[in-house]
Structure 1
Amino acid sequence: RERLNIFILTGIFTLSGINETMNYRGTIFSLTLLYYCLILFFNISLIIIIILDENLHEPMYVLLCSFCINGLYGTTGFYPKFLFDLLSSSQEISYEGCLLQAFIMYSFACCDLSILAVMAYDRYLAICRPLHYHSFMSKRRLSQLVCFSWLTPLCIFSISIILTSGLKLCGSKIQKLFCVNWIIVKLACPEADTIPNNIVSYATIIIYVSHGFFIIWTYMHLIRTCVTSKDDRVKFMQTCVPHLVSLVTFLFVIVFDLMYMRFGSTDLPQSLQNFIAIEFLLIPPLMNPLIYGFKLTKIRNRILCFDSTLTYKSILSQ
C-alpha cells in the first residue's frame, strides 16, 4: 500500500531483479558495458560500410543496414538504463519513461520480424524470379518496404501505448528488468477496462503470425527452386543461410521469452530469470552483424580490403 501511494503521488515504477546481484554489480556493469560497446561497434561498422560503398547499395544490403539500425534502436532502449540501475541504489523509472521503454522494446522486436519478412521476400525474388527482380525490387518499392517494416510496428504500438496510458493503475512494481506493456496492463485496477488493450494485442499477434507464415511460404519456394539448380544452391548458402540463422534465433528467443513471461515459474533463480528476460537484447543484436559480416561475400571482401589498406598504409609510414 505504501508503494502504491508513492506511485500515485510521484508516478514512479520500481523495477525488480537487480537487488539479488548486489555482490556482483561491479563485474556485471563492466561486462554489460563491454558487451554494449561491442554491439555498437559491429552494428555501426556494418552500417558505415554499406553507406560508404556504392557497390553495396543493393536491396539486400539496404535491408541489412535497416536491420542493424533497428538493433541499435532496441538496445539503446535498454542498456543505458540498465547500466544506470547497476550503479544506483534503487531501480526506479518514471511512468512516462516506462511507457517509452515498453514502446521501444515491443516495436524493436516486431520491426525485426518485419525486416526479416521483407528480406525473405527479397531473397525469393532474387532466386525464384531473377528475371523480374530489378523490376519488382525497384528503388521505390524498396523504400516502400523499408517504410512498411518500420511504420507498421511503430503505429501499432503507438496505439497500444496510448491505450495503456489511459488505464488507472493499482500497482507500481514491474516484475522485470525493464518495462513491458503487458506487465503494465496487469497492474491496472480491477475496474479498469482492458478490453481495447486485449483487442490490439490479439490483432498484433495475428499480424505478426502472418509475417511468420509469409516467411515459411517464401522458403518453401526457395528450397524447391534450389533443389534443382546448383547455382541457386550456392546463392542460397551465401545469402539465405545468414537470414535463416537470424530468423531462427530471433523466433527462439522471442517465443521462449513470451512463453516464460506468460506461463513461466517464479521459482527459478533470479539470475536465470534475468537472462531469459533479456535474451532478445543479448543474442540477435551482436550475432546478426557478425553472421552477415562474415557470410556475405561482398561485405567480407570490403572488410578485408579495408584491413589490407590499413596494413599497406602502416607499412608505408614506417
Structure 2
Amino acid sequence: MQVYLRYFTICFLLPPATALENVSCEIFILTAFQEFGNKKDTYFWLSLIGYLLIIFVNVSLIILIYQEKKLHEPMYIFLCNLLFCELTGSTSFYIKFMIDLKINVHVISRTFCFTQIFLIYIYTVTEICILTVMAHDRYIAIHAPLHYITIFSSANIQKLIVASWIYPIVMITIGMYLSIRLPLCGNEIDRVYCNNWEIVKLSCTDTSSNNIYGSVMLCTFSIPFIFIFYSYCKILSVCWNTSRSQKYKAFQTCLPHLITLIFFISSLLFELIESRLNVKRVKNEITAFASIEFLTVPPLLNPLIYGLILPEIRKRVVYLFSRRRKQLM
C-alpha cells in the first residue's frame, strides 16, 4: 500500500522535475509529521475510521432531509448546506493527511497546496456564514413567527444560500491571489496541512498587503459573530417571558446551533491564535491534532448533535429504523 501511495504522491502531488532541488520553490515540506514518530499507522486507521464516519453520518442526514418532505423547511435546508460544507472541508484535509501518514516523504506541490488552502478556507468561512443564517432563522422563528414564511420564502432562502457561498469564494480568492504572487525563500510548513499564514511567513518580500487584507478579513468575519450573539440574546429575552413548555421547545431547537457554534469557534480560535499571533507551541502530536480540530471534529459531531436533539429528525430516524426492523423480521 505504501508503494502505491508513494507513486501517487510523486505523480500527482509533486510537479515534474529531474531533480528535487530544481523545484524547491515548487514544493512544500510538511514538517509537523515528524512529531508523530512511530504512531503513524495508529493515526492513519483512526483518521480513516473518522473520515468514513463523517461521510456516512453527513450523507445519511442529507439524504434523509432530501427524501422526507416534512423536513423541507428553511432550517433543514440550511442544515443540508452546512453538512455539505463540512464534507468539502474534511475531504480537502483527510485525503492528503492519510496519504502522508503512510509515506515517509511529506511534501505537496505548490498547486495542490494552494488548492487545499482554498478549500479549507472556503469551508471555514462558509460554515460561519451558514451558522449566521441559521441563527437568523431561529431568531425570526421565535421572535416573529407570524412573519417567518414571508421572510424565509423560497426566493429569499436561495439568495441567502448563494450569498453564504459566493461571499467566501470571492474573499478567499482575493487572499489567494495576494499569496500566490509572493516569491518564497523557503519551503517548510510547520503544519500537517497547507496554511496560508505559514506560506506568507516564507516570503522574501514585504507582505504588508497580505497582512492588511488578512486583518480586514478577520474584522469582516467578526460581524457574523456579533450578529449571532445579538440573535441569541434576543431569543433568550423572548423565551424568558414565555411559558415553560415554549421555553423547552425553543431551547430544544436552538441547542444544536449553540453547541455547533461554540465548538467550531473555540477550535477555530485555537488555530488562529497559534498560527497568526506566533504563540510558542509545545512540539508534540497533541498540539498538532489540536490545530486541526476544526477540520475533524465538527464534521463528525454536528450531524450527530442535530440528529439527536432536533425532534423532527430524531422521529424520522426512529421511524425509518423501526420500519426497517419490521421488514427484516
Cα deviation, residue 199, structure 1? 2.5
Matched, 1:269 2:304: no
Report deviation, 1:10.
6.1
2 CA distance for matches of 1:161 and 1:169?
15
Which residue does 1:220 correspond to in 2?
A: 233
> What code does the residue aligned with 1:93 have?
I
Q: Deviations over 1:50-95 (max 9, x none)?
A: 1111111100000110110011000001000000001111000000
Q: Distance in 2 between matches of 1:234 and 1:62?
A: 23
Aligned residue for 2:182, secondary structure, equals: coil
Is residue 7–residue 13 contact of structure 1 (8 Å, CA) maintained in 2? no
CA contact (8 A) 1:20 1:270 kept: yes
Instruction: Check 1:169–1:79 CA distance in 2 against 1; reply closer, same or farther (3 A cut).
Output: same
On the 8 A contact 1:6/1:12 being kept in 2, the answer is no
> What is the rounded CA distance, in whole Å, between the counterparts of 1:195 and 1:112 in structure 2?
28
Q: TM-score, normalised by structure 1?
A: 0.94
Is the aligned partner of 1:194 residue 2:207? yes
Partner of 1:239: 253
Secondary structure, aligned partner of 1:77: helix
Contiguous gaps of at least 5 residues in structure 2: 1-19
Q: CA deviation at 1:7?
A: 6.7
1:285-300 to structure 2, matched below 5 A, reads 285-300=299-314
Query: Match for residue 210 of structure 1?
Result: 223
Q: Within 1, Cα distance between the matches of 2:271 and 2:326?
A: 47
TM-superposed CA distance for 1:101, in Å, is 0.8
Question: How far off its partner does 1:153 sit?
Answer: 1.1
CA contact (8 A) 2:25 2:186 kept: no
Partner residue of 2:64 out of 34, 49, 64 = 49
Task: Please give the per-residue CA displacement for 1:153-180, whole angstroms capped at 9, x wherever unaligned.
Answer: 1110011001111111111001100011
Cα pair distance change 1:285/1:227, threshold 3 Å: same
Work out whether residues 225 and 232 of structure 1, in 8 Å CA contact, stay in contact via their aligned partners in 2.
no
Aligned AA for 1:64?
L
- How many residue pairs match? The answer is 308
Structure 1 residue 310 and structure 2 residue 320: aligned? no
* Contact in 1 for aligned 2:24/2:187 (Cα 8 Å): no
Q: 1:10 to 1:202 in 2, by over 3 A?
A: closer
Is residue 177 of structure 1 aligned with residue 192 of structure 2?
yes
Matches within 5 A, 1:111-190: 111-189=126-204
- What 5-or-longer segments of structure 1 have no aligned partner? none
**Whole-angstrom CA distance in 1 between matches of 2:309 and 2:44:** 32
Shift of 1:26: 1.5
Asked if 2 retains the 8 angstrom alpha-carbon contact of 1:50 and 1:61, the reply is yes
Report the alpha carbon displacement of residue 106 of structure 1 after superposing the two structures with TM.
Answer: 1.4
Alpha-carbon distance in 2 for matches of 1:99, 1:28: 25
Q: Which residue of 1 aligns with 2:13?
A: none
Distance of 1:134 and 1:66 partners within structure 2? 20
The aligned counterpart of 2:107 is: 92
Distance (whole Å) between structure 2 residues aligned to residue 284 and residue 101 of structure 1: 18
Q: Is the 8 A contact 1:7 1:172 kept in 2?
A: no
Q: Is the 8 A contact 2:25 2:187 kept in 1?
A: no
- % identical equivalent positions: 37
